[in-house]
């Protein structure tokens, strides 16, 4: 029996709620997301730049996934996702041409620039919505590519923006915006969402949501959830790694439920001291 089938048989789980590949419909919405999404949805009519920033493990990529999931079904909205932000300028245009369906010659950057802008203008004229570009791990983008997005987006002497761009990055990107090279782009951020370490009550809310979505609301005892929330330092990735390890250990032992005893046994194991030879 595979591990996933064993989990399903033991606990009736639809999926492992602590892995990264859960269905997007089951993702938890952080408490700060709704106001940001409301403002972003309005910005799609006008174009502009938004940024999501956080230290690793706080859920910024999942927020971007939620944005894509919630914007894509909107009628006439075109959402593109950049998969390789660390590209050179030539590869940047290759990917942009694939994302927005424009036949570009990589060695003709001027033609690519005009081709993309013409495609976006046509989209705006027929739908009134700006196309949307989502870029994860944007701190990896080289400065020329970041500035190229800025130049591509701006038209009519910088009085109009024909693209909505959401940059998702760790704290290195806001720091880079302080440099002379990227200061112009940094000043164009209309929306900013800075994710902070989560409070205990939000971590508890996340755990309950994850278990309910996976159809196993009683899989963990309340004291265990409190212990996980207390020891995860407000970091969702740390919380999920700990919970996944507990779930794997419980499945191995075929325990009916995960509790605080399992937590103590799993995370309080100390290496035995090596005896010195006499």
Query: Domain containing 106 — which CATH number?
Result: 3.40.50.300
Same domain flag for 210 and 190: no
Residue 54 structure tokens: 């956080």
* pLDDT of 137 above 90: yes
Comparing 27-36, 159-168, 195-204, the range with the smallest average pLDDT is 27-36
In a domain, 126, yes or no: yes
| Nearest partner of 97 among 85, 86, 111, judged by Cα | 111
**Rg, Å, the chain Cα set:** 23
In a domain, 94, yes or no: yes
In a domain, 229, yes or no: yes
CB < 8 Å & 24+ apart, contacts of 221-230 = 221/257, 221/258, 221/259, 221/260, 223/259, 223/260, 224/258, 224/259, 224/260, 224/262, 224/263, 226/200, 227/260, 227/263, 228/203, 228/263, 229/200, 229/203, 229/204, 230/200
pLDDT at res. 271: 53
Average pLDDT of the chain is 89
* pLDDT of 250 above 50: yes
Instruction: Label residue 4 by pLDDT band (50, 70, 90).
Output: low
Instruction: Label residue 226 by pLDDT band (50, 70, 90).
Output: very high
Same domain flag for 165 and 203: no
| Domain interval for residue 38 | 31-194
Overall number of domains in the chain:
2
Choose the final residue of a domain: 176, 194, 212.
Answer: 194
* pLDDT of 120 above 80: yes
* pLDDT of 109 above 80: no
User: What average pLDDT score do residues 70-85 get?
Assistant: 87
* pLDDT of 106 above 70: no
Choose the final residue of a domain: 194, 214, 231.
Answer: 194
pLDDT at res. 111: 82
Q: How far is CA 20 from the centre of its chain?
A: 11
Same domain flag for 222 and 171: no
Same domain flag for 188 and 215: no
Same domain flag for 91 and 154: yes
* pLDDT of 272 above 80: no
**∠ CA 83-86-92, rounded to 5°:** 70
CB 266 within 8 A of CB 246: yes
Instruction: For residue 141, give every residue at least 6 positions away whose Cβ sits within 8 Å of its Cβ, in sequence order, or none.
Output: 85, 86, 135
157-198, pLDDT tens digit by residue? 888 899 999 999 999 999 999 999 999 999 999 999 999 999
pLDDT at res. 76: 81
In a domain, 263, yes or no: yes
Q: How far is CA 81 from the centre of its chain?
A: 12
Same domain flag for 148 and 50: yes
């Amino acid at each position: 029996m595979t591990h996933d089938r064993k989990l399903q048989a033991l606990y009736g789980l639809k999926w492992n709620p602590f892995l990264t590949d859960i269905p997007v419909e089951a993702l938890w919405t952080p408490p700060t997301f709704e106001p940001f999404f409301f403002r972003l949805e309005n910005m799609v009519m006008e174009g502009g730049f938004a940024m999501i920033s956080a230290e690793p493990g706080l859920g910024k990529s999942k927020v971007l996934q939620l944005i894509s999931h919630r914007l894509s079904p909107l009628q006439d909205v075109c959402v593109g996702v950049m998969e390789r932000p660390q590209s050179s300028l030539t590869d940047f245009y290759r990917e942009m041409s694939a994302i927005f369906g424009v036949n570009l010659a990589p060695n003709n950057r001027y033609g690519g620039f005009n081709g993309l802008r013409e495609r976006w203008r046509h989209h705006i004229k027929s739908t009134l919505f700006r196309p949307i570009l989502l870029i994860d791990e944007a701190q990896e983008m080289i400065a020329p590519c970041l500035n190229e997005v800025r130049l591509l987006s701006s038209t009519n002497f910088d009085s109009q923006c024909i693209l909505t761009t959401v940059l998702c990055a760790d704290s290195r990107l806001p720091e880079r915006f302080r440099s002379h090279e990227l200061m112009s782009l940094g000043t164009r951020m209309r929306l900013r969402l800075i994710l902070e370490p989560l409070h205990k009550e939000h971590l508890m809310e996340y755990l309950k949501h994850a278990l309910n979505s996976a159809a196993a609301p009683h899989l963990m005892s309340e004291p265990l959830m409190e212990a996980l929330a207390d020891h995860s330092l407000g970091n969702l990735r740390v919380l999920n790694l700990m919970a996944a390890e507990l779930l794997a250990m419980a499945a191995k032992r075929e325990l009916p439920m995960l509790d605080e005893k399992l937590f103590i046994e799993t995370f309080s194991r100390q290496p035995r001291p090596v005896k010195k030879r006499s």
